[in-house]
Chains A and B, each alone.
Chain A
Amino acid sequence: MSGRAFGTQTPAAPPREKEHVLPTEAPITPSPFAEKVRGPVGRSCDKIDGVERVTGTKLYGADLIAREADLHAKVVRSEHAHAEVVSIDTKEALRVDGVLAVLTAEDVKGTNRHGLIRRDHPVLAKDRVRYRGDAVAIVVAKTEQAAAAGRDAVKVEYRVLPTVESIEQAMAPGAPHLQPGGNVMGGRRIRKGDADSALADSHVVVSETFRTQTVDHAFLDVEAGVARWDGELLTIRVSGQWVHEEARLVALALGLPVERVRIIQPAAGGAFGGREDISIQIYVGLAALRFAGKTVALRYDRAESMRARHKRHPMRIEYAMGADREGRLTAAKVAIYSDEGAYASTGIAVCRKMSSHATGPYRVPHVRVDVFGVHTNNNPTGAMRGFGATQIAIAYEGMMDRLAAKLGVDRVEFRRANLIRPGDAVTTGQVVPSPTAVECLEAVLRQYGSKSMPSEPLPTHLRRGWGVSVICFGMGYGDGFPDASRARVRIGADGCVEVYSGIVDVGQGAENVIAQVAAEEMGVGLEHTRVITADTHMTPESGSCSATRSTFFAGNAVRLAAGELKEKLLDAAGELLCVHPNELEFRGEEIRGRFDEGLCCSLGELVAAARKRGYELEAEALFKPRTICEDFETGQSPRAFITYMFGAHVSQVLVDVETGEVRVERHVACHDVGRAINPEAVRGQITGGVVQGIGMALMEEVVYRGGRILNPGFTDYILPTVRDVPPVECVVLESNDPLGPYGAKGVGEPPLIGAVPAVLSAIYDATGKAPATLPCNPERVWGMLTGS
Chain B
Amino acid sequence: MGDSGGAWHLSCTVNGEPVEAEVDPRITLLTFLREHLLLTGTKGACLEGECGSCTVIVDGRPINSCLMLAGQAQGCSIQTIEGIGDDKKLHALQKHFIATGAAQCGYCTPGLIMAAKAMLDANPSPTEQEFTTAIEANICRCTGYESIRQAIRDAYREIHG
Question: Residues of A with Cβ closer than 8 Å to B?
Answer: 16, 18, 20, 22-24, 44, 46-47, 50-60, 62-63, 66-67, 218-222, 267-270, 272, 301-302, 506-509, 680-681, 683-684, 687-688, 690-692, 713-715, 719, 721-723, 725, 727-728
Pairwise interchain contact B143-A687, C-beta atoms closer than 8 A: yes
**Interface 1/0s, chain B 21-43, versus A by CB < 8 A?**
00000000000001100111111
* 5 A-B pairs with least C-beta separation: A56-B41, A507-B105, A269-B107, A53-B106, A687-B144
Identify A690's interface contact among B40, B53, B87, B144, CB under 8 A: B144
Identify B101's interface contact among A301, A681, A691, A719, CB under 8 A: A681
CB of B62, distance to nearest CB on chain A (Å) = 15
Question: Residues of B with Cβ closer than 8 Å to A?
Answer: 34-35, 38-48, 50-51, 53, 80-82, 85-87, 90, 93-95, 97-101, 103-110, 113, 132, 135-139, 141-150
Pairwise interchain contact A302-B101, C-beta atoms closer than 8 A: no
Identify B81's interface contact among A56, A302, A727, CB under 8 A: A56
Q: For residue B34, which residues in chain A have a CB less than 8 angstroms away from its CB?
A: 62-63, 66
The binding surface of chain A is classed by DSSP as loop
Report the bound CA distance from A322 to B104 in whole Å: 43
Report the bound CA distance from A617 to B106 in whole Å: 34
Pairwise interchain contact B94-A54, C-beta atoms closer than 8 A: yes
CB of B121, distance to nearest CB on chain A (Å) = 18
Q: For residue B144, which residues in chain A have a CB less than 8 angstroms away from its CB?
A: 684, 687-688, 690-691, 725, 728
Report the bound CA distance from A52 to B87 in whole Å: 8
Pairwise interchain contact B106-A54, C-beta atoms closer than 8 A: yes
CB of A616, distance to nearest CB on chain B (Å) = 34
Identify A54's interface contact among B35, B38, B103, CB under 8 A: B103
Q: Known contacts A67-B38, A722-B145, A723-B132; is A56 also within 8 Å of B50 by CB?
A: no
CB of B105, distance to nearest CB on chain A (Å) = 3
Most buried by B among A51, A60, A719: A51
Q: For residue B95, which residues in chain A have a CB less than 8 angstroms away from its CB?
A: 54
Q: For residue A721, which residues in chain B have a CB less than 8 angstroms away from its CB?
A: 136-139, 145
Report the bound CA distance from A24 to B146 in whole Å: 9
Q: For residue B48, which residues in chain A have a CB less than 8 angstroms away from its CB?
A: 302, 713-715
CB of B144, distance to nearest CB on chain A (Å) = 3
Most buried by B among A20, A62, A269, A506: A269
Q: Known contacts A47-B101, A506-B105, A507-B105; is A684 also within 8 Å of B46 by CB?
A: no
Report the bound CA distance from A509 to B102 in whole Å: 12
CB-CB nearest in chain B for A723: B136
Identify B38's interface contact among A22, A60, A62, A66, CB under 8 A: A66
CB-CB nearest in chain A for B150: A22
Most buried by B among A24, A56, A63, A725: A56
28 sampled A-B residue pairs with Cβ under 8 A: A16-B99, A44-B101, A50-B103, A53-B105, A55-B41, A56-B42, A56-B81, A56-B109, A221-B107, A269-B43, A508-B105, A680-B101, A684-B104, A684-B144, A688-B141, A688-B143, A688-B144, A690-B144, A692-B141, A713-B50, A714-B48, A714-B51, A721-B137, A721-B139, A722-B136, A722-B145, A725-B144, A728-B144
